[in-house]
Amino acid sequence: MKLLRVNMDDLGVRWYPVPPVYLQLGGRALIARLLLEEIPPACDPLGRHNILIFAPGLLAGGGVTTAGRLSVGGKSPLTGGVKESNAGGTAGDTLAKLGIKAITVEGQAQSGEWYLLHIKADSAELLPAGDLKGTGTYATSDRLQERYGADCTVITIGQAGEFCMHGADISVTGERDQRSNHAARGGLGAVMGSKGLKAIVIDKPLGKSIPLADAELFRTASRTFAQKLINDPKLGTKGSQHLYGTASIVGAVNEIGSLPTRNFSSGSFEGSASLRGEHLRELVLEREGKIGTRCMPGCVIACRNNYYDEDGKSIVGTLQFETIALMGSNLGLSSLDDVAQLNYICNDFGLDTIETGAALAIALEAGLAQFGDTERILALLNEVGQGTIIGRVIGNGAVTTGRVLGIRRVPAVLGQAMPGYDPRSLKGNGVTYATSPQGADHTAGNAFGARKEVNPLGVQGQRELSLKLQIIAAMLDSTGLCLFARPPVIADPQLMVDMINGIHGWGWTKEELDRFNRDVLRTELEFNRRAGITAADYRIPEYMREEPLAPHNSTFDIPDDELDAVFDTL
Amino acid sequence: MKLLRVNMDDLGVRWYPVPPVYLQLGGRALIARLLLEEIPPACDPLGRHNILIFAPGLLAGGGVTTAGRLSVGGKSPLTGGVKESNAGGTAGDTLAKLGIKAITVEGQAQSGEWYLLHIKADSAELLPAGDLKGTGTYATSDRLQERYGADCTVITIGQAGEFCMHGADISVTGERDQRSNHAARGGLGAVMGSKGLKAIVIDKPLGKSIPLADAELFRTASRTFAQKLINDPKLGTKGSQHLYGTASIVGAVNEIGSLPTRNFSSGSFEGSASLRGEHLRELVLEREGKIGTRCMPGCVIACRNNYYDEDGKSIVGTLQFETIALMGSNLGLSSLDDVAQLNYICNDFGLDTIETGAALAIALEAGLAQFGDTERILALLNEVGQGTIIGRVIGNGAVTTGRVLGIRRVPAVLGQAMPGYDPRSLKGNGVTYATSPQGADHTAGNAFGARKEVNPLGVQGQRELSLKLQIIAAMLDSTGLCLFARPPVIADPQLMVDMINGIHGWGWTKEELDRFNRDVLRTELEFNRRAGITAADYRIPEYMREEPLAPHNSTFDIPDDELDAVFDTL
């Protein structure tokens, strides 16, 4: 394995052997360590000292189902802390097959200059990409696949990243014309934009495979893993994830009163029926769209859909729960067609739908349009790509929008907007938002699945639950696994140990894996500490501690000392 | 002495005896202690848990020259930390004569409701003030003086404060039609706006004087103090402060290469000659304006001017150095008439000229207008009062403007814009900006006056100088004294001790005064620590450590460990 170091100051592209300190790391774990070792923690996230990292997980490239997610990382302009955000598509798998442990992008190109990084087998070069300036992610991906071959992987930013908007994300293509995979959170698209890097193109490695330290061990474990996923009642071909996608939970989140509605002013939405996964499935099938598609080749869960409009035209490659919550109920919209339109525009501009949905809702609360007014909301969102002043405000996310428009009800922690679970009625997620080094992020430890075991409205047990989930999330994000694939490896951690040892031959035990997972969080917390982030910065917004949320009239009432103690047993 | 507690939640106005913990405190010292004792340090600065404090200094009311400044304080929406900002006018003196140690404004009025607080001798009440909504500070002051008498003091916010813009300040009237006194820094106007308090009116106390514990001691000391000021070559009637006002230093700041020019991209401005105090004096006298006017009755320095335009119309009650730097050279403007126009609009909207000048320069760097284009700059500034989107961006200050417009060259520390001395060529001020609990603020410890003793371009001695100046500033801000009045009390601290003991009879020694001064800083640093502010938050912006500043090609190169050690000997 090797590191590909791209220096935007001198436009140098250099290969390095992997230093020992990084050898047994991948994905999120590697990102945390690289940031701690290599950048001044207090640096400007959009300045030349930040680094942008692309790293496949430890299981990438070997054909483990769901394990090809690409981790993208850097110091976040939104949170000011460590950030890892991952995406499906073919990049994780492809980089691993090329023997690339990580790409680091350092320095900054001359202001106004744009480049693309082209990686082909063992060579890589930076090429001028001024012609792509101002081009959305869909057209950029299309044009680069026309130029470099339909099988290449394209990683790109849209207009939002070019403008260095803090809500900007990074898109990753999947097989051929598969799109709509985004490393969405934390504003990493702005980091890519700040470096003058518009896109990365990776030619498909022909006939490449990763070396296996113990092929037998690996094959047995990975097959068992896949089989267990297939047999899982929720995940298999008859499971709700496959049938309805992530949208399967819209109804349940609404029922527990945690569905963000009209800028987090209610936890239940009167129009939620038409946003549910069941309705989504009906619509998609009726319009001859596709259900059960994949973000990564070989995924046995296949939770995605291809959402078509009434005229049978494909709109987005997957319409997902977080987008439906933040850009549906949270904007007072009850039509999936409307949400799909907004989703498409976000994808094209390269904008996180969570951050942008939260920002739009704040703009609506400020009176820039009515909740539910699709046309005006679309117009506001379109301004982001045009770079108008209000567009730049919204594109910079919830906190900036709240500040500019004088709105104090801003659902964000550590500068980053909350995903689709109001912490007042899913308090385990509140604990994660208020303690995760990643800021408000459901993927860092989502308590929704445990709502039967721990009362989502209670205080009891939330701290322990959040920590457990955060440790598991750290493992998944470091191995490249999809979050949905966690049941088999939680039930039997040896399966994960065997897959890792099968590829790498490290002879890890379950205890060593556990230590590895915890070390990810420790490293991230240490980075944030050095970046100047303290307990006070992690708090849930004041209004959520005081303003009761319908229908349970609950507030976020986990005491500060409980929050401060979450990592005591890390 | 008593405390006047105003609760905007229930519109209650209550008098309390001063609790022992606050008895020997005043002005900035009292603000620091009140904040530490009474608000959750991590609270939302614009939420209901913040308190807004108005406190005269320890010497107010006794007729000590220059000692009537009113300290205004609260948790700053800009810095997230402690904030004290003071203004001339008649408020400090008047409150002291009424025996009011401090007014605290707590809670928040119902959204959209506006009130004014009317204080008359021993009574105080909140009255509806919806009729004043949207009115600038000049018209508000005029209308309230018409209503309550020409001798009353009016403290008010303008449109910026109503919009809760983070650059909003608070204006205070002086004698009769005297205007243009502002507690400018830290966004305290937004705190006042967030509470629904438009204005405070204080009827002139008739025949009231403060009790003197030792009248003889007090009179001797205060007369000596005044005489020393009069005899000071810089401050007396032939001194540069009196003749040219604070603008007297424009030339010298430009000569040392520290004058902010075009968004802090140079330290010397080719058009500085026409911005100098000497030219200001010529213009004012030629137009029959006034030189040597006062912000407070009885001030022997009298550094102000009444700036008239070409047609002999009064524009602003004083045109000062910081405004000339931030809204003159920093915007590429070399005409004092232009600067005066901008100053008038800021005063009327209730906007800090430093924060707003810095924000406008960033907008110019982003291409919203050309540096030096008076007309477009005026139009941009006017948008602030109209509350348009770009107006709200600029009104929220430098950091927000930089974030929205994608500009990384933002001259701010702790979220607050720098005043008129570039820290790269006046490094002592850089140390103050990077360590003061007040954020980037020259009044917290201005090294400019010591440029002959400590080389402004060197590293040596800056740390010690800054600490010394910060301790003195804490004393001045807690006693109500003007910063310009420091020479006699630095030369002979017993003078200050005698004035305090003469009024209060506390029998302080010089050592006790020194401890008092240091305690102010300790208390403020502790508040900020609890608010989650760390060393990383106090740093000078990255670009100023790397981008050399003409004409000396200097960067800010005081090592972090030097900065972290500033308060080691506090």
What is the per-residue DSSP string for B275-286? Answer: GSHHHHHHHHHH
> pLDDT digit string (tens) for B299-326?
999 999 999 999 999 999 999 999 999 9
CB A423 within 8 A of CB A404: no
Do A38 and A136 reside in the same domain of the chain?
A: yes
* CA A212 – CA A505 distance, rounded (Å): 8
Residue type, A288: E
- CB contact, 8 Å: B367 with chain A? no
Task: Order across the sheet with A290-293: list the strands.
Answer: A290-293, A304-308, A314-316
Minimum-distance CB partner of A542 among B44, B400, B541: B44
Minimum-distance CB partner of B389 among A44, A393, A535: A393
Distance from CA of B49 to the nearest CA of A (A): 9
CB A174 within 8 A of CB A296: yes
Question: Choosing among A534, A543, A547, A561, which should be mutated to test the B contact, i.e. which has the most B CBs within 10 A?
Answer: A534
- CB contact, 8 Å: A156 with chain B? no
| Residue-level pLDDT, tens digit, chain A, 570 residues | 999 999 999 999 999 999 999 999 999 999 999 999 999 999 999 999 999 999 999 999 999 999 999 999 999 999 999 999 999 999 999 999 999 999 999 999 999 999 999 999 999 999 999 999 999 999 999 999 999 999 999 999 999 999 999 999 999 999 989 999 999 999 999 999 999 999 999 999 988 899 999 999 999 999 999 999 999 988 888 889 889 999 999 999 999 999 999 999 999 999 999 999 999 999 999 998 889 999 999 999 999 999 999 999 999 999 999 999 999 999 999 999 999 999 999 999 999 999 999 999 999 999 999 999 999 999 999 999 999 999 999 999 999 999 999 999 999 999 999 999 999 999 999 999 999 999 999 999 999 999 999 999 999 999 999 999 999 999 999 999 999 999 999 999 999 999 999 999 999 999 999 999 999 999 999 999 999 999 999 999 999 999 999 999 999 999 999 999 999 999
Which CATH number is B118's domain given?
Answer: 3.60.9.10
Do B402 and B550 reside in the same domain of the chain?
A: yes
- What's the whole-model pTM score? 0.97
Distance from CA of A503 to the nearest CA of B (A): 41
- CB contact, 8 Å: B82 with chain A? no
Q: How many CA atoms lie within 13 A of A52 on its CB side?
A: 35
Q: CB distance B406–A541 less than 8 Å?
A: no
Q: CB distance B396–A408 less than 8 Å?
A: no
Strand-pairing partners, residue B119, are: B124, B202
DSSP assigned state of B553 = T
Looking at residue B234, its pLDDT comes to 87
Do A195 and A233 reside in the same domain of the chain?
A: no
Looking at residue A561, its pLDDT comes to 96
Q: CB distance A47–B406 less than 8 Å?
A: no
Residues in chain A with CB shorter than 8 Å from the CB of B359 are: none
- Tell me which H or E stretch contains B70: strand B70-75
Residue where one domain finishes, among candidates B143, B167, B202: B202
Locate the chain B residue with the closest alpha carbon to A541: B44
In-domain check, residue B269: yes
CB pairs under 8 A between A and B: 79
Question: Choosing among A163, A394, A403, which should be mutated to test the B contact, i.e. which has the most B CBs within 10 A?
Answer: A403
Spell out the alpha helix ranges (H) of A370-482. Answer: 374-386, 389-395, 398-405, 427-433, 462-479
Residue where one domain finishes, among candidates A172, A202, A232: A202
In-domain check, residue A210: no
- CB contact, 8 Å: B46 with chain A? yes
Q: Phi and psi at residue A110, in whole multiples of 5°?
A: -55, 140
Locate the chain A residue with the closest alpha carbon to B390: A389
- Closest to B196 measured CA to CA, from B126, B123, B135, B125: B126
- CB contact, 8 Å: B403 with chain A? yes
Structural domain harbouring B417:
224-569
What is chain A's percent helix, strand, coil content, to nearest 5? 45, 15, 40
CB B135 within 8 A of CB B359: no
- Tell me which H or E stretch contains A189: helix A188-194
| Confidence check: pLDDT of B525 > 90 | yes
> pLDDT digit string (tens) for B271-287?
999 999 999 999 999 99
Other Cβ atoms closer than 10 A to B211: 12
Residues in chain A with CB shorter than 8 Å from the CB of B194 are: 408
Do A316 and A438 reside in the same domain of the chain?
A: yes
Looking at residue B448, its pLDDT comes to 97
Looking at residue A208, its pLDDT comes to 87
Q: CB distance B536–A541 less than 8 Å?
A: no
Looking at residue B235, its pLDDT comes to 87
Q: CB distance B406–A165 less than 8 Å?
A: yes
Which CATH number is A259's domain given?
Answer: 1.10.569.10
| Confidence check: pLDDT of B208 > 90 | no
Residue type, A245: G
Residues in chain B with CB shorter than 8 Å from the CB of A396 are: 403-404
Angle between helical axes of B336-349 and B374-386 (0-180°, round to 10): 0
- CB contact, 8 Å: A297 with chain B? no
- CB contact, 8 Å: B9 with chain A? no
CB A19 within 8 A of CB B514: no
- Tell me which H or E stretch contains A86: strand A82-87
Between the alpha carbon of residue B124 and those of residues B6, B116, B174, B211, the distances in Å are 9, 10, 21, 22
Q: Confidence band (pLDDT; 50, 70, 90) for B207?
A: confident
Do B471 and B548 reside in the same domain of the chain?
A: yes
In-domain check, residue A213: no
CB A486 within 8 A of CB A72: no
Looking at residue B468, its pLDDT comes to 98
CB A90 within 8 A of CB A175: yes
In-domain check, residue A211: no
Looking at residue B288, its pLDDT comes to 87
Q: Confidence band (pLDDT; 50, 70, 90) for B481?
A: very high
Looking at residue B237, its pLDDT comes to 83
Do B421 and B488 reside in the same domain of the chain?
A: yes
Do A149 and A241 reside in the same domain of the chain?
A: no
CB B201 within 8 A of CB B144: yes
Residues 6+ apart with CB under 8 A from A227: none
- Closest to A400 measured CA to CA, from B219, B397, B133: B397
Q: Which of A110-124, A497-511, B185-199, B224-238 has the lowest mean pLDDT?
A: B224-238
Residues in chain B with CB shorter than 8 Å from the CB of A164 are: 406
Q: CB distance B393–A389 less than 8 Å?
A: yes
Locate the chain A residue with the closest alpha carbon to B394: A404
Pairing outcome for strands A100-106 and A2-7? parallel
* CA A444 – CA B145 distance, rounded (Å): 58
Do A268 and A192 reside in the same domain of the chain?
A: no
Between the alpha carbon of residue A200 and those of residues A148, A207, B331, the distances in Å are 11, 21, 39
Minimum-distance CB partner of B42 among A41, A49, A539: A539
- CB contact, 8 Å: B526 with chain A? no
- CB contact, 8 Å: B389 with chain A? yes
| Confidence check: pLDDT of B289 > 90 | no
CB A116 within 8 A of CB A132: yes
Do A156 and A297 reside in the same domain of the chain?
A: no
Average pLDDT, chain B: 97
In-domain check, residue B216: no
Which DSSP string corresponds to A516-530?
Answer: HHHHHHHHHHHHHHH
- CB contact, 8 Å: B110 with chain A? no
The sign of the torsion formed by the CA atoms of B432, B437, B442, B444 equals: negative
Locate the chain B residue with the closest alpha carbon to A193: B406
Between the alpha carbon of residue B97 and those of residues A98, B63, B211, the distances in Å are 80, 10, 9
CB B116 within 8 A of CB B198: yes
Residue where one domain finishes, among candidates B202, B232, B248: B202
- CB contact, 8 Å: A393 with chain B? yes
Residues in chain A with CB shorter than 8 Å from the CB of B164 are: 406
Strand-pairing partners, residue B153, are: B202
Minimum-distance CB partner of B403 among A389, A400, A536: A400
Which DSSP string corresponds to B180-248?
Answer: -EEE-GGGHHHHHHHTTEEEEEEPPPTT-----SSHHHHHHHHHHHHHHHHH-TTTSTTSHHHHHGGGG
In-domain check, residue B82: yes
C-alpha gyration radius of chain A: 22
Q: CB distance A532–B536 less than 8 Å?
A: yes
Q: What is the mean pLDDT of residues B387-392?
A: 98
Between the alpha carbon of residue A439 and those of residues A97, A422, A425, the distances in Å are 32, 14, 18
In-domain check, residue B219: no
Question: Choosing among B79, B157, B192, B403, which should be mutated to test the A contact, i.e. which has the most A CBs within 10 A?
Answer: B403
Q: CB distance B536–A543 less than 8 Å?
A: no
In-domain check, residue A207: no
The number of domains in chain A is: 2
Do A470 and A512 reside in the same domain of the chain?
A: yes
Q: Which long-range contacts (CB under 8 A, 24 or more apart) does A17-25 make?
A: A18/A101, A22/A101, A22/A102, A24/A504, A24/A506, A24/A516, A25/A58, A25/A478
Residues in chain A with CB shorter than 8 Å from the CB of B163 are: 406
Distance from CA of B151 to the nearest CA of A (A): 35
Do A360 and A483 reside in the same domain of the chain?
A: yes
Do B327 and B469 reside in the same domain of the chain?
A: yes
